Amino acid sequence: MADSCKYKRRLAWLLLFVALALLPLGVNNYVQFVINTMLVYCLAALGFNIVIGYLGQLAFANAAFFGIGAYAAGLAMARLDLAFPLALAVSAIAGGLAGGLVGMPALRVRGYYLAIVTLAFGELMRWFYVHADGITYGAGGFSPPPPTWFGAPLNETGKYYVFLAVLALGVAATQHLLKSRIGRAFVAIRNNEPAAASLGIAVARSKVVAFAWSGLIVGLAGGLYALLNGRISPDTFGLAQMLMHFAIVMIGGLGSLLGSILGAVLLTGAPELLRNFPGLEEIVFSLLLMVVLFFMPRGLGGLIADRIPAVRERLYRE
């Protein structure tokens, strides 16, 4: 890698970092809330992409992991009175366990069957939230105590920095994972499972690891969601949430980190822009999806990677 290219890349990261750090100064509370929502969905899309993009498994368990993370964090704060960083840790662990749990049966079931069984798992979790009101406060949902940072309540700007930090950590960790033998194993399994096995990749174990890591990241995103809204209710984690994640990943680009982030930003921002045209959101949403499916099969991430080779994501570290 020529020095100038490395220098340019470093500069780009630095500029981006400074811009993001100063951003809260120029926006009001509402726009800040929308940006915080974007950060949450970036993390969720990133986690989802690991299973559906890199590993290539048609698993629709994302809304379930998102819900498990949100409930884990919310209940940790409401029931166990944990501080929000600990609650986020709990949501990540819960998500990871759920991911591993879903990963096991995913070995036996493939393709459409996996899609439907994971959708059913999501709806089952939603039913559990409604009917286990002893633990989960039931159908109405609940509001965990507002997060505090050394006593002072965390306002939107405070949340922004927390979310940004968590997202950065998530992206970095996932980046390290994907640019290693583990990430290559995921993509190899997607490409050709027998060939992967013949190269020494323990296919079953890698799949469960992929699901667990995806669960962990999406669970963490669920935890952030609990902080973002301060309100957790069962209906949020139903089929609609799942289809939203699916659309973000498809528009962003399967198997593309950058794509997941772009997809999340676009699909969280669009409804806000359509605020004064109620009812149009769905139609715009579907036309956007169709355009991507016809003209950009590899989504935004794929499009950019084709145009600018330097941005292409490699599965190794130079």
Partner 1 sequence: MLAQLIVSGIAVGCVYALIALGMTILFRSTTVVNFCHGEFFMLGAFAVLVPLQTLGWSYGWCLVFSLGLLFAVGMAVERGLMRPLQSAPHISLAMMTVALSYLFKGISRFFYGREVVALPPLMAGDPVFFGEVVLLPQDMLIMGLVLLVVVAFFVFFQKTEIGKVVEAASQTPRGAFLSGINVPLLRNLMWGVGAAMGALAGILIAPNTLVYPDMGGHMLVRGFAAMTLGGFGSLPGAVVGGIVLGVFENLAGGYLSSALVDITAYLVIIIVLLIRPQGLLGWRRDRG
Partner 2 sequence: MKRSTLSGLLAAVAIAAMPLAGQAADTTGVTADTIRIGMFGPLTGPTAIGSLPLLGATAIYRHVNETGGINGRKLEVLVEDDACDPNKTIAATKKLMSQDKVFMIHGGWCSGTVMAIKPELQRHPEFPYMVLGAASTAISTPVQANIFHPVATTATVARSMVDFALSKPGAKRIAIISHSDEWGKSHIEPALAELKARGLEPVETAYLERGSTDATSQLLRLRAAKPDAVLAILYPPELTIYLRDANKYGIKAPTVTTQGVSLEDMVKRVGNPAATRELYVFYPLSRTLDDAGFKKWKDIYTAAHPKDPVETLSFMGMTGALAVVEALKRAGPDLTREKFMAELDKLRDFDPGIQSGPLTFTPQDHAGIKLGKMIYMKDGKPTIVSAYPAGG
Partner 3 sequence: MLQVENMTVRFAGLSAVSDLSFQVSPGEIFTMMGPNGAGKTTAFNAITGFVRPASGTVSYKGVSLLGRSPDQIAGMGIRRTFQNNGILREMTVLENVLTGLELAIPHTFWRTVAGLPGARRAERRAVAQAREMLARMGIADLAERNAGDLSFGQQRLVEISRALVAGAELIMLDEPAVGLSPSDRHHLAGVLRGLAESGIAVVLVEHVQDLVMAVSDRILVLNYGKCLAEGAPDAVRNNQAVLEAYLGHE
Binding site for partner 3 (CB under 8 A): 172-173, 175-177, 179-182, 184-185, 187-188, 190-192, 194-203, 209, 314-318
Using CB under 8 A as the binding rule, whether residue 259 contacts partner 2 is answered as no
Cβ neighbours of residue 132 under 8 Å, at least 6 residues apart?
138
Q: How big is the site for partner 1, counted in residues (CB under 8 A)?
A: 39
> Is 277 an interacting residue with respect to partner 1 (CB under 8 A)?
no
Q: What part of residues 188-227 is at the interface with partner 1 (CB under 8 A)?
A: none
Give the separation between CA 252 and CA 305, rounded to whole angstroms.
Answer: 12
CB of 149 to partner 2, least distance (A): 15
Q: Does 275 bind partner 1 (CB under 8 A)?
A: no
The reply to whether 187 sits near partner 1 by the rule CB under 8 A is no
Of positions 228, 250, 267, 305, contacts partner 1 by CB under 8 A: 250
Those residues with Cβ within 8 angstroms of residue 136's Cβ, 6 or more apart along the chain or in another chain: 71, 75, 128, 129, 142, 234
Please give the backbone phi and psi of residue 148, each rounded to the nearest 5 degrees, phi first: -125, 150
Contacting partner 1 (CB under 8 A), which of 14, 165, 283, 311? 283
With 0-12 CB in 10 A as exposed, 13-18 as middle and 19+ as buried, what is 93? middle
- C-alpha–C-alpha distance, residues 120 and 126, integer Å: 10
**Does 136 engage in binding with partner 2 (CB under 8 A)?**
no
The span of 58-66, 70-78, 103-111, 126-134 binding partner 2 (CB under 8 A) equals: 126-134
Tell which one of 7, 17, 127, 316 touches partner 1 (CB under 8 A).
127
Rounded Cα distance between 113 and 60, Å, is 11
Find residue 153's DSSP bridge partners. Answer: 148
Instruction: Work out what residue 215 binds among partner 2, partner 3, partner 1, none; the CB cut-off runs from 5 to 8 Å by kind.
Output: none
Give every CB contact of residue 110 below 8 A, 6+ residues apart in sequence. Answer: 57
Q: Contact between 119 and partner 1 (CB under 8 A)?
A: yes
Minimum CB distance to partner 1 smaller for 197 or for 289: 289
Q: Which CB atom, from 282 or from 306, has the smaller least distance to partner 1?
A: 282
CB of 184 to partner 3, least distance (A): 5
Cα dihedral 252, 256, 261, 266 in deg (nearest 10): -10
Say whether residue 134 binds partner 1 (CB under 8 A): no
The whole-angstrom separation of Cα 189 and Cα 125 is: 29
**Of 44, 227, 254, 262, which lies in the binding site for partner 1, with binding defined by CB under 8 A?**
254
Instruction: Provide the pairing of β-strand 148-149 with 152-153.
Output: antiparallel
**Tokens (6 digits) for 192:** 């050709």
User: Of 179, 271, 284, 312, which lies in the binding site for partner 2, with binding defined by CB under 8 A?
Assistant: 271
Question: Per-residue b/e over 263-291, b at no fewer than 16 CB within 10 Å?
Answer: bbbbbbeebeebeeeeeeeeeebeebbee
134 scored as a contact of partner 2 (CB under 8 A)? no
Segment 145 to 184, residues that bind partner 1, using CB under 8 A:
none
Identity (one letter) of the amino acid at 44?
A
Question: Are 61 and 188 in contact, with CB atoms under 8 Å apart?
Answer: no
The residues binding partner 1 (CB under 8 A) are: 52, 58, 105, 108-117, 119-121, 123-124, 127, 131, 239, 243, 246-247, 250, 254, 279-283, 285-287, 289-290, 293-294, 297
Q: Which residues bind partner 2 (CB under 8 A)?
A: 28-31, 33-34, 37, 130-131, 133, 138-141, 143, 146, 153, 156, 229-231, 233, 235-236, 271-272, 275, 278-279
